Every structure is written in C-alpha cells, then in structure tokens.
Amino acid sequence: MKEAEGHRQIFLDTETTGLEIREGNRIIEIGCVEMIDRKLTGNNYHQYIKVDRESEEGALAVHGITTAFLFDKPVFSEIIGTFLSYIQGAELIIHNAPFDIGFLNNELLLADYSQKIETLCDINDSLVLARQMHPGQRNTLDALCKRYDIKNEHRTLHGALLDSEILADVYLAMTGGQKGLSFGEENSGESGVANYSFEKLSSLRSPTLVIKASDEELLAHQKYLENIEKDGVKPIWH
C-alpha cells in the first residue's frame, strides 16, 4: 500500500452468498476504492474469495458470481493480511454498514482472528447519511444515482468494486463535490492543460430569490421610456 498524507477514506462493498450469516452465508467478493482529501487515488483493492458453499438463488441473481468461477480463488484466511493492511487506520464508508461489517467480522472469527473491523477503522454509514438528508425517500444506491444524476447504466449486475466506485461518486455528490479548483503548471497534466475539480451544488440549497418590480415601478419605467422617445430616440429595449 502506498503511503499518503491527509484524510484517507475507503469506500467498501462486499458480495455474499446470501443475506443471513446465521444460515452459513459467506463473503465472496470485496471491493474498495481509496480517496484521500476528497480525491480518488486509484489505489483500490479488489478480491474474489473461494467459499465452501453455493450462493443462494436470490444472491446469485444479484451478483452472478458462481462457485465454478470462485474455484481457483484464495480463501479468506489467505487474504486477511493484505486486506487489513489496506484498510487499517482509514475511515470506512459503507452503504448499510452493519451488513458488510457483520459479514467481515464473521469471516475474521471463522479465521480465528481476534480483532474486529471497528477496532481498526472508523466506520461511516452512507445509508444513515442519505436517510438524514432525504427522509421518507428511497435511498438505495440506484435511487441516489438518479437523484444526483450519476450515470450507472453499466451496472447490469452488482459487483463489489463497481458498487464502491459508484458509492464514492454518490458520497462526493451528497457532501458537496470534489475539493478545489486548481490553476497553474504544478496541477497540469502532460498535455499542459490544468486539471480542474468542480463542486456540484447541493440540490437541497434554497432557491434563488427573485424580486419582481411592482406595478408602480413598471408604470414609472414605461413613462421614462416614452419620454426618451419624445426626444427622438427609440430605445432598443422598448
């Protein structure tokens, strides 16, 4: 993992064989997207995981990950070190965090690992944030993408890395956009063109106040234009 300064956030998503841990369901995919100081770094983490059970029919319809596909992938105990090293000390942002954290902690328990995810990272549930911002509305990732005009037509099936990338876009939109608008050579790309980051205004901001002229003011303006015309000048705005 590369070293970097600043506030480090990891957008995390998992795919599982089913919804209930108590029924023996397991994690089969982990996807993470890194952001430092509200800028995506490209230092992402993605791993498929082999498990000893089939996905439930409903789960398979969502993610499409078959047991045959997972046959040559590592088991969870083999990826613990690299995964925990990647997320340690970061703020984890997860949509419906209790679900993913519950499954991750279960995998740690099954691998005889003593720590839990919440002892290694701060956890921020973006679903809770969305419900606070949009009470009484649907706050799934798909609904939020539509609300914030984020394109996700390419997501025909759910995937942990793709969903993490979409979540990062949604989170930036919900919390005010990317940071900064930079000019100058030190922020320019190879083409010499400056790299710009634009902030998307919140759809929840108050509407712009429009003050209309009163009937008296409109009448006075009309008389003023008529007086100008008497002097032989025809205003172009009349």
Q: What is the CATH number of the domain that holds 113?
A: 3.30.420.10
Q: Per the domain annotation, does 235 fall within a domain?
A: no
Query: Average per-residue pLDDT in the chain?
Result: 83
Residues with a catalytic annotation lie at: 158
Specify the higher pLDDT residue, 90 or 186: 90
pLDDT at residue 193 is higher than 50: no
Amino acid at the residue 110 = L
Q: Per the domain annotation, does 203 fall within a domain?
A: no
pLDDT at residue 138 is higher than 80: yes
Structural domain span for residue 142 = 8-174
pTM for this prediction? 0.72
Choice among 99-103, 160-164, 225-229 with the minimum mean pLDDT: 225-229
pLDDT computed for residue 1 by the predictor: 40
pLDDT computed for residue 57 by the predictor: 95
> Which residues, 6 or more positions from 162, have their beta carbon under 8 angstroms from its beta carbon?
31, 154, 155
Q: Per the domain annotation, does 1 fall within a domain?
A: no
The model's confidence at residue 195, banded by pLDDT at 50, 70 and 90, is very low
Q: How far apart are CA 217 and CA 82, in angstroms?
A: 72
pLDDT computed for residue 143 by the predictor: 94
What sign does the dihedral 34-36-37-40 (CA atoms) show? negative
Q: Per the domain annotation, does 234 fall within a domain?
A: no
Tell me which residue has tokens 């998307």.
200
Q: How far apart are CA 25 and CA 11, in angstroms?
A: 22
Q: Per the domain annotation, does 146 fall within a domain?
A: yes
Q: Per the domain annotation, does 82 fall within a domain?
A: yes
Q: Per the domain annotation, does 148 fall within a domain?
A: yes
Q: Per the domain annotation, does 227 fall within a domain?
A: no
Q: What is the 3-state secondary structure (H, E, C) of 75-135?
A: CHHHHHHHHHHHHCCCEEEECCHHHHHHHHHHHHHHCCCCCCHHHHCEEEEHHHHHHHHCC
The DSSP output letter for 12 is: E
- Report the domain count for the chain: 1
